[in-house]
Structure 1
Amino acid sequence: MAAPQPRQSHQPQSRQSCPSQQPQTKPASRSHSRALRWPLVAAGLGALLIHNSLESRADLKPQTPPAVSAPAAPAAPRATAPAADPALPRSAPERLSIPQIGVNAPFTDLSIGASGQLNPPPADDTNLVGWFRGGASPGERGTSIVVGHVDTKTGPAVFSRLEALRPGSTVRIMRADGIVARFKVDSVDAFSKADFPNKRVYADASSPELRLITCGGAYNRSTREYEENVVVFAHLDSAQRA
C-alpha cells in the first residue's frame, strides 16, 4: 500500500489519546518459539482497537576448490562467503531517534495487563514510546513492536508525524548495552482498524525487524476514535557502539 500523506500535526484539543495496537492475549514464555507466540498475541486486535482506540491509556554454500587444469586456465570461482549474522543479543531499548520527523524520545516497557490487553504508554507524557517487552528487543532476531500516541488531550504526541516517513528513512534505537541499532524503513502503510492485517504486522521474522505503530486516518467524532492505524515496517540496517 502506498504511504499515506502526512496529517496535520495539530489535533483538536478535545481529542483523547490514541494508543496503538494492543494484543489481547498474554504471550507465551520466551522459552517457547516466537513463531508460536505471535499468532496468539495478534488474535483479536482489530476488535480491540475499535473499542479502545481513545482510552487513556521484525543458505550457506560450500566453497568450491580451484579446478585442476592447465596453468593458463583460470581457477574455478569460489562461492561467496555468507554475510555475518546481523542479529544482536537481547537488550532493552532506551531511546528512539528519528530526526526526519523530530522524534527523540525515551522508552517505557509495555506488558500485558490483568485484563489481557497490552498496557499502552502513559497518556500524560506526549514524548514517550513503548516497547512490548514480551517480543523481540530492537535488533534482536524477530519482530520488535514499538508503539506511541499520535496525540493526547493536550495536543500532538510523539508519533504525530509518523506517516511522513518514507522508504529509506532511518530510525535509530539506543539500547541498554550501548549499541545503536540503525533501522531502514521498508514501507509506511495505513490500515483500517476494521480490517487490520494482524499476521502481516505481528508475524515472527527470521531476521531483526521493527514495527512502529500509532493511530491515523480520519477522526470520527461520533465514535471518538481514529479509523486507521499507521504502521512503519523496517529492518535492521547496521549496528555500532555509541
Structure 2
Amino acid sequence: MTPSPSTSAVVRPSPRGPSPTPSPSPVVTSSPKAGASRPPGRVSTASFRVEIPEIDAVLPVVPVGVAEDGQMALPDDPSTAGWYRFGPGPKDDSGAAVISAHVDSRDEVGPLARLNRLDRGDRIVVTVDGTGVDYVVERVDQYAKTALDVDALFSRTGPARLHLVSCGGEWDPSARHYEDNVVAVARRAS
C-alpha cells in the first residue's frame, strides 16, 4: 500500500519571512514578522505550471501558504504543485522561488517522485501568465528533514533561482512521513 501524504511531508518555511496577509487561502497561525522586505509574490493562477522534460513531468501550480502546523501547505493531489506565495515568484529578479508537491498519495505516485533523477544541466520551464521562464538544474540534493536548511531553501536574496522540493528516502510508518526531502536547485537560464 502506498503511504498517504503526511502533514510533515514537506519543509517548514523560514520564520524570518513575512507572514501572510488575510486571504481566502490556508489558515495561518503565525503573527506578522518584523522587517518583512517585500510583499507577498503576485502570480496569476490562470496559466501557472512547471514542466520538467527529463522526467516527463508537467504539473499545474497553485499558490500556497503555511499550514496550521507551520509546514508549507501543499495540494493533496501529488500531481499538483504548490508555490510558496509569500516568497519570490518564478519571474522575480532575485531570491528562491519554492515549488513543491507531495511525492505520492494513497492512490497515486506523483511526478516529483522522479525528482532525484534530474542531472546538472537538465531544463525546467515554469510558465506564469503565459510566459515561460527557463531554469537549468545545478544540483539535486537529498537531506534528512531535520538537516534541511530552511533559511537557504526559502531565501529572498541572491540570484533568481528555483527550488523544487518533494519527499524522498524511506517511509517512516510511526511518524507517517518520509525521512528525507529531495531538493532540485536550478538557476535562471540566461
Q: In which range does the TM-score fall when normalised by the shorter chain?
A: 0.7 to 0.9
Shift of 1:117: 4.1
Distance 1:117 1:221, change over 3 A: closer
- Residues 154-193 of structure 1: pairs in structure 2 closer than 5 A: 154-176=107-129, 178-193=130-145
- Tell me how many residue pairs correspond in the alignment: 170
Contact kept, 8 Å, 1:22 with 1:120, in 2: the verdict is: no
Shift of 1:218: 1.5
Could you list the runs of 5+ residues in structure 2 that have no partner in the other structure?
21-34
1:143 alignment counterpart: 96
Contact kept, 8 Å, 2:74 with 2:81, in 1: the verdict is: no
Q: Tell me which of 165, 169, 172 is aligned to 1:217.
A: 169
| 1:232 is aligned to 2:173 | no
- Residues 1-242 of structure 1: pairs in structure 2 closer than 5 A: 12-13=1-2, 15-18=3-6, 19-23=9-13, 25=15, 27-28=17-18, 32-33=36-37, 91-92=43-44, 94-113=48-67, 116-121=70-75, 123=76, 125-140=77-92, 141-176=94-129, 178-238=130-190
* Separation in structure 2 between the aligned mates of residue 116 and residue 151 of structure 1, nearest angstrom: 21
Contact kept, 8 Å, 2:11 with 2:145, in 1: the verdict is: no
* Separation in structure 1 between the aligned mates of residue 184 and residue 79 of structure 2, nearest angstrom: 18
* Separation in structure 2 between the aligned mates of residue 110 and residue 224 of structure 1, nearest angstrom: 22
* Separation in structure 2 between the aligned mates of residue 108 and residue 160 of structure 1, nearest angstrom: 19
* Separation in structure 2 between the aligned mates of residue 221 and residue 114 of structure 1, nearest angstrom: 22
Could you list the runs of 5+ residues in structure 1 that have no partner in the other structure?
1-11, 38-88
Question: Structure 2-normalised TM-score?
Answer: 0.78
Distance 1:236 1:92, change over 3 A: farther
Which of 1 and 2 has greater Rg?
A: 1
Contact kept, 8 Å, 1:96 with 1:105, in 2: the verdict is: yes
> For residue 185 of structure 1, what is the amino acid of its counterpart?
V
* Separation in structure 1 between the aligned mates of residue 70 and residue 179 of structure 2, nearest angstrom: 23
Distance 1:137 1:172, change over 3 A: same
> For residue 230 of structure 1, what is the amino acid of its counterpart?
V
Output one character per residue of 1:138-194: Cα deviation in whole Å (capped at 9) or x when no partner: 131211010111111112113110110011110001111x32100000100000112
Distance 1:111 1:161, change over 3 A: same
* Separation in structure 1 between the aligned mates of residue 95 and residue 108 of structure 2, nearest angstrom: 34
Distance 1:236 1:189, change over 3 A: same
Distance 1:149 1:115, change over 3 A: closer
Distance 1:136 1:24, change over 3 A: closer
* Separation in structure 2 between the aligned mates of residue 189 and residue 213 of structure 1, nearest angstrom: 10
Shift of 1:103: 0.8
> For residue 109 of structure 1, what is the amino acid of its counterpart?
P
* Separation in structure 2 between the aligned mates of residue 24 and residue 32 of structure 1, nearest angstrom: 12
Shift of 1:108: 1.0
